[in-house]
Structure 1
Amino acid sequence: MADRDEPEVIGRRVQQLRAARGLTQKQLAEPAYTPAYISTLEAGRVRASDEALRHIAERLGVAYDELATGRPARLATDLRLRLTEAQRTLAGGEAERAAEQYGALLAEAEGHDLADVQAAALLGLGESALDTGELTDARRYFERAEKTLADAPLPARVPALRGRAVSHYLAGELRYAVYLLESTLDELNRGGLHDPDALLLLYASIIGPYMDMGAHARAAQAAELALALAPHSGDPALVARMHRSVARTLLAEGRIAEADASLAKASELYRTLQIRTELANCHWMRGYVCAQNGELERAEAELRQALEMLTAKRAALYSSQVAVELADVLHRRGKSEQAAALLHDTLSDLNSERGALHSAAAHRLLGIIAEDARDTETAEEHYVRALSLLERAGAAGDLADLCRLLGDLLRRTGRVEAALDAYRTGLGHRTAPGTTTLGPAPAQPPL
């Protein structure tokens, strides 16, 4: 057995179990071995054969695996069953309860030195922390999972790398998130490690950061590659996530019917898999699609449903993000007071380290609402706050639009030079569409 303990460790274990059962070395040895052999084995001076250990295990009344490794019989199987249960809890949207289950599993796996279960538990803790918006904790869990899997092939480390990138992305560190995802894709493809699930997970995850950075060409390319990889994946939850991400690029290209079709596929898969938080995200995306298509009443209904589902499951960060988009729809429907109240409530849950992009979007929308009410001073304050958040995050596409809004406000209030500065800044963010300033795009899989 490859993962047997060292002879000294097994020897001590045999001696302790024999003493606990009140057996002599002669009684343990008979009829196949001698007392001298048992004495040598207990002293750790001989590496017992599998046959000898099976004999001793039978005499001691324990399983062979427990004698050879110190782990209770069926421990690994039991832990994997509990991992499945924790995954089901998280899929049901109960992130806090799932974190408790994963924490207990991690402690047991560490106690018995089961690296694969440790890594799975750390990944689960990271995903739970993402759902509850604890981004620093999430990043630490994913980093620990990477270290635990340090000797594993790169495809096995991809979920941890992707989790770390997402935690940076949600914190507003777009460029670093893209760097992590692009460099991993490059290493996989150049190294010939064409694992469909690993590649699909990375391509689906990089679409959002690309879109927010204004790198629409790379986002579209990632979406095409993800769609081509989907038939080769054996993970329906991963395929569903991919369809949800691809919908963003389709929307950006004005392909609303196709985006809606992608979301319908994702929703159906999530319903089948009973993944409630992701299903809420589909309502969120469908609300966004309806808003882009001018169907504001339906958009409000979809976004309210998403917000209700996410709030019920305490997905704090995601519910704050949905609230910003719902406020936008409310404002467009003439319910500006409701929108402003919702945004002020939401900003208490967001900051520059946690949901920077949506915090900026909230300030941008509050600025627009203030402008509509002819409160230019408040509008300018909100625009400047949003600009600071977006500059820190490197969200080029949104920065250009915000500079235009600020420039228009400054021009209307007679500050022409300041307005020109704002317009120039905006143009600077539009000079290199489709790039990430990170060098050439990563190598592609041989599809």
Structure 2
Amino acid sequence: MAERDDPGVIGRRVQQLRVERGLTQRQLAEPAYTPAYISTLESGRVRPSDDALRHLADRLGVGFEELATGRPAHLATDLRLRLTGAQRTLAAGEAETAAEQYAALLAEARRHELLEVEADALLGLGECGLYTGELTEARDHFERAEQVLAEADAPLPARVPALRGRAVSHYLAGELRYAVYLLESTLDELNRGGLHDPDALLLLYASAIGPYMDMGAHARAAQAAEYALALAPKAADPALVARMHRSVARTLLAEGRIAEADASLAKAAELYRQLQIRTELANCHWMRGYVYAQNGDLERAEAELREARTMLTAQRAALYTSQVAVELADVLHRRGKSDEAAALLHEVLSDLSPERGALHSAAAHRLLGIIAEDAHDTETAEEHYVRALSLLERAGAAGDLADLCRLLGDLLRRTGRVEAALDAYRTGLGHRTAPGTTTLGPAPAQPPL
């Protein structure tokens, strides 16, 4: 049972209910207690025993818990059921409807001071923000969830979903270094403190793979993938395991392990079909398309990416839709459909900004630069490369920076600006020398596998 209210609050509640029901103190007291006891109780000068509260609850026609805490009977259970409903709504891709459900739950949880439900509702609102691309709001919700869990003295593993949410919101906004700092510091605290919760560790390692890859820290990405795979059999949440398989596929691909990456994505897709989580299933199509593109199977890549974009558009997952569109445009360009690719990229850029999808905005400018170069429009190409460079420098995406510096250097060299080209090459070499080491500290402590 939840902690009961203080005697003064209970006394006022008893008096209000008694008056509403037209009972005298004697009628409420009989046959077990005296009117004087009821008077003392209503004035808040005595702490009623459980037996007394049960007697009063029976006479007043309310539940024991409602009388002791002010919360209707089974409220917490009812709110949990509604939370599950909101989670299913979000899993179906209806983020705006889910946000309304979570907001109503949050208000009710706050009114009844149910901290765990309040934290879950805030987490749900944060996830809705990630779906719709409202990254600042998402981050605020995750931060508030952390605060509520801290007030409830929740252990670190219970706070991990909120910490991970904050990290992902920073990552999607292009703040790679800070996202990695949040994930690594939490991993370090868990592992050094002996808090080896499989679900919490798996969630953190899987979430770190994307930022590591974009920063050029491929060794750490591969290590995180290995740890995630080792933890998967111990994890209780099948949706978490499915998400892990999708993230690990990216690292396997970077190592050239195409068949294993495809198999990992197939496992994830099957799990999400079972769970009917449409958005994550769309992300599986997304990653399969990425795998096929890297393997040179452009026709299948285009089909998978179009399917992912259609599903994400239907679910109004705005930011993810834009990200898929950039990769689809790359495939279209490679298939000779450059006009369609350019139109798609300009559409994407209208939905992105340095604070909202910086990495994919940079990728869009990079690809527009390549398309312009192919059309012999070097001035436009240079403009796109420079804008992409600015975005990547802000995000600290070392691997992508090195590649972009090569493209820019080649363009400058072909247009006769040799010194400027050399500067671009030197900048790129600086990022290629030791990927990730300029922005990452020591690796976090290892889990006991």
**1:286 maps to which residue?**
288
Contact 2:126 2:165 in 1 (8 A): yes
Would you say the 8 A contact 2:214–2:397 is kept in 1?
yes
Q: Does 1:368 align with 2:387?
A: no
1:153-201 Cα distance to aligned partner (Å, 9 max, x none) = 0001000000000000000000000000000000000010000000000
Measure how far apart 1:433 and its partner are.
2.5
In structure 2, C-alpha distance between the alignment counterparts of 1:225 and 1:284, rounded to whole Å:
23
Shift of 1:438: 2.8
CA contact (8 A) 1:83 1:102 kept: yes
In 2: Cα distance, 1:43 partner to 1:427 partner: 78
Question: Following TM superposition, by how much is the alpha carbon of 1:73 offset from its aligned partner in structure 2, in angstroms?
Answer: 1.5
Q: Distance in 2 between matches of 1:14 and 1:45?
A: 13
**1:215-252 deviations in whole A, cap 9, x for unaligned?**
00000000000001001011000000000000010000
Partner of residue 165 from structure 1, selected from 164, 167, 178: 167
2:105 aligned with 1:105, yes or no? yes
**Does structure 2 retain, via aligned residues, the 8 Å contact 1:213–1:436?**
no
1:41 corresponding residue in structure 2: 41
Give 3-state SS (helix, strand or coil) of 1:131's partner.
Answer: helix
Aligned 1:135-174 pairs, distance under 5 A: 135-150=135-150, 151-174=153-176
Structure 2 residue 47 is the aligned partner of structure 1 residue 8? no
Asked if the contact 1:404/1:423 (under 8 Å) is kept, the reply is yes
Q: Decide whether the 8 Å contact of 2:398 with 2:436 is kept in 1.
A: no
**Corresponding residue SS for 1:243:** helix
Quick one: which amino acid aligns to residue 370 of structure 1?
Answer: A
Distance 1:194 1:12 in 2: 47
User: Partner amino acid for 2:211?
Assistant: P
- Deviation of 1:326 after TM superposition, in Å, equals 0.4
- Which stretches in structure 2 are left out of the alignment for 5+ residues? none
**Secondary structure class of the residue paired with 1:430:** helix
The alpha carbon displacement at 1:435 in A equals 3.2
In structure 2, the residue matched to 1:415 is 417
User: What residue is the counterpart of 2:426 in the other structure?
Assistant: 424
Aligned residues with identical type, % of pairs: 88
Call closer, same or farther: CA 1:263–1:31 in 2, change over 3 Å: same
What is the distance in 2 between the residues matched to 1:357 and 1:318? Answer: 12
Rounded Cα–Cα distance in structure 1 between residues aligned with 2:321 and 2:438: 28
Aligned to 2:312: 310
Once residues 5 and 84 of structure 1 are traced to their aligned partners in structure 2, the CA distance between those partners, rounded to angstroms, is 28
- Residue by residue over 1:266-325, the C-alpha shift from the partner in whole angstroms, topping out at 9 and shown as x without a partner, is 000000000000000000000000001110011000000000000111111000000000
Q: How far, CA to CA, are the matches of 1:363 and 1:248 in structure 2?
A: 23
**Root-mean-square deviation (Å):** 0.7
CA distances 1:386-424 after superposition (whole Å, capped 9, x unpaired): 000000000000000000000000000000000000000
- TM-aligned CA deviation for residue 124 of structure 1: 0.3
With structure 1 as the length reference, what TM-score do the two structures score?
0.99
Question: Residue 340 of structure 2 corresponds to which residue in structure 1?
Answer: 338
Contact between 1:95 and 1:128, CA under 8 Å: does it hold in 2? yes
Shift of 1:77: 1.0
Residue 84 of structure 1 aligns to a residue whose secondary structure is helix
- Cα pair 1:307 1:323 within 8 Å, conserved: yes
User: Quick check: 1:390 aligned with 2:392?
Assistant: yes
**Alpha carbons 1:102, 1:125 under 8 Å: kept:** yes
Task: Provide the rounded CA distance (Å) in 2 between the counterparts of 1:164 and 1:238.
Answer: 17
Residue in structure 1 matched with residue 23 of structure 2 by the alignment: 23
Q: Could you list the runs of 4 or more consecutive aligned residues of structure 1 that deviate by over 3 angstroms after TM superposition?
A: none
Alignment correspondent of 2:331: 329
Shift of 1:437: 2.7
Q: Does 1:232 align with 2:265?
A: no
Tell me if the contact between 1:126 and 1:139 (Cα under 8 Å) persists in the aligned partners: yes
How far the C-alpha of 1:434 sits from its partner, in A, is: 5.0
**Runs of 5+ consecutive residues of structure 1 not aligned to the other structure:** none
Q: Deviations over 1:135-154 (max 9, x none)?
A: 00000000010000012100
* 8 Å Cα contact 2:156-2:190 kept in structure 1: yes
The answer (yes or no) to whether the contact 1:210–1:436 under 8 Å persists in 2 is no
Aligned counterpart in structure 1 of residue 443 of structure 2, from 433, 441, 444: 441
Deviation at 1:436, TM superposition (A): 5.9
What is the CA–CA distance in structure 2 between the aligned matches of 1:432 and 1:25, rounded to whole Å? Answer: 80
CA contact (8 A) 1:171 1:355 kept: yes
In structure 1, what residue type is equivalent to 2:434? A
Q: CA deviation at 1:72?
A: 1.1
Question: Contact (CA 8 Å) 2:2, 2:69: kept in 1 or not?
Answer: no
Measured in 2, the distance between the counterparts of 1:29 and 1:307 equals 67
Measure the CA separation in 2 of the matches of 1:394 and 1:10: 57
- CA pair 29-134 structure 1, distance change in 2 beyond 3 A: same
Deviations 1:347-401 (A, max 9, x none): 0001100000000000000000000000000000000000000000000000000
| Matching of residues 169-318 of structure 1 within 5 Å | 169-318=171-320
- Aligned residue pairs total 447
Tell me, in whole angstroms, the C-alpha distance in 2 between the residues paired with 1:92 and 1:120.
18
Give the counterpart letter for 1:288 in structure 2.
Answer: Y
Q: Residue 218 of structure 1 contacts residue 435 of structure 1 at CA under 8 Å; is this kept in 2?
A: no
Q: Distance in 2 between matches of 1:408 and 1:296?
A: 26
SS in 2 for 1:429: helix
In structure 1, how many angstroms separate the alpha carbons of the residues matched to 2:399 and 2:168? 19
Q: Contact conserved, 1:217 with 1:434, CA < 8 A, in 2? A: no
Distance 2:435 2:58 in 1: 71
Between the aligned partners of 1:2 and 1:401, the Cα distance in structure 2 is 58
* Cα shift readout 1:29-85 (whole Å, capped 9, x = no counterpart): 111111111111111111111111000000000000100010111211111110000
Once residues 289 and 68 of structure 1 are traced to their aligned partners in structure 2, the CA distance between those partners, rounded to angstroms, is: 58
The one-letter amino acid paired with 2:135 is: L
Equivalences for residues 123-142 of structure 1 within 5 A: 123-142=123-142
Helix, strand or coil at the partner of 1:225: helix
SS of 1:149's partner is helix
